[in-house]
Amino acid sequence: MLYKAEAVVLRYKNMRDADKVAVLFSRELGKIRTAAHGVVKAKSKKRGAVQPFTHSAFLLRKGRELDSISQCEAITFFLNLRNELKRLTSALYVCELTDELTAEKEPNEPLFILLLTTLKWLNSNVVNGVGLDKITAGFEIKALGLCGYMPQLTRCVNCGERAKLPLKFSYKMGGILCTECNNADESALTISERELLTMKELITTAPGKLKDIDVSNESLKRIKRILNLFTVHHLDKKIKSN
Ligand SMILES: [Zn+2]
């Protein structure tokens, strides 16, 4: 049986000697692992459509183990992502996060739209340097929320009270700790009121506006570290490409 899917290619790799596996994140079905051997032999135009980060239209054939790619055509290549190391590592990180956060064939269209929009802005020449970090951090916290792991940023995760200052963030318990509960988790990290506001801004700001968020490099680094610890703890495994 054949079916259509619009997808972003998350990964493309050799499985065995001759077989290639392309992991897609589709608008219709969420993550789909596909056998891509037919595409490798095809003309280079088709090969381009299964390269990582490419946004493509697919015609897939249902298989017993893996579905296979019958036809594909690139919609957007995002070529800039390959031209600059920082853009490349940022794109690899958002694709790997999407892969790690999702199970196969569980549709999540909001995450698909977020991923596609994020790649578009990571690819854009109007975003550079630290702007790319803001877009990646914004993707991470929004993607966590869309997959059911939103950190608790308003009420203390230990007592449930509206948190008073100063605050800590417990990546193990999944959110902020108020002054009274500061000792509930020894590994909790200090977070300033301003940094907490920035984390909330990362959630509410559209990908294209994230580059304009007002945050110091030091605070952004701390927020990225908090998010990464939170993500790794909740996925119970290390995200390699950050
Ligand atoms: Zn508390």
pLDDT in the model for residue 44: 54
Q: How many residues does the chain have?
A: 242
pLDDT in the model for residue 84: 94
Q: What are phi and psi of 23, to 5 degrees?
A: -95, 120
CA of 181 to the centre of ligand 1 (A): 4
CA 13 to chain centre: 19
Pairing, β 67-76 against β 30-35: parallel
pLDDT in the model for residue 238: 47
CA of 174 to the centre of ligand 1 (A): 13
pLDDT in the model for residue 242: 44
What's the whole-model pTM score? 0.92
CA of 161 to the centre of ligand 1 (A): 6
Q: What are phi and psi of 68, to 5 degrees?
A: -120, 155
Name the strand (E) or helix (H) holding 132: helix 130-146
CA of 165 to the centre of ligand 1 (A): 11
**Token pair in block for residue 202:** 């990362």
Q: Taking residues 60-81, what's their average pLDDT?
A: 93
pLDDT of residue 49 exceeding 50: yes
pLDDT in the model for residue 86: 96
In order of start, what are the domains of the chain with their CATH numbers?
2-76 (2.40.50.140), 79-151+183-235 (no CATH)
pLDDT in the model for residue 124: 97
| pLDDT tens readout for residues 128-186 | 999 999 999 999 999 999 999 999 999 999 999 887 788 999 999 999 999 999 899 99
SS3 call for 127 = coil
CA of 205 to the centre of ligand 1 (A): 28
The closest alpha carbon to 219, from 155, 154, 133, belongs to 133
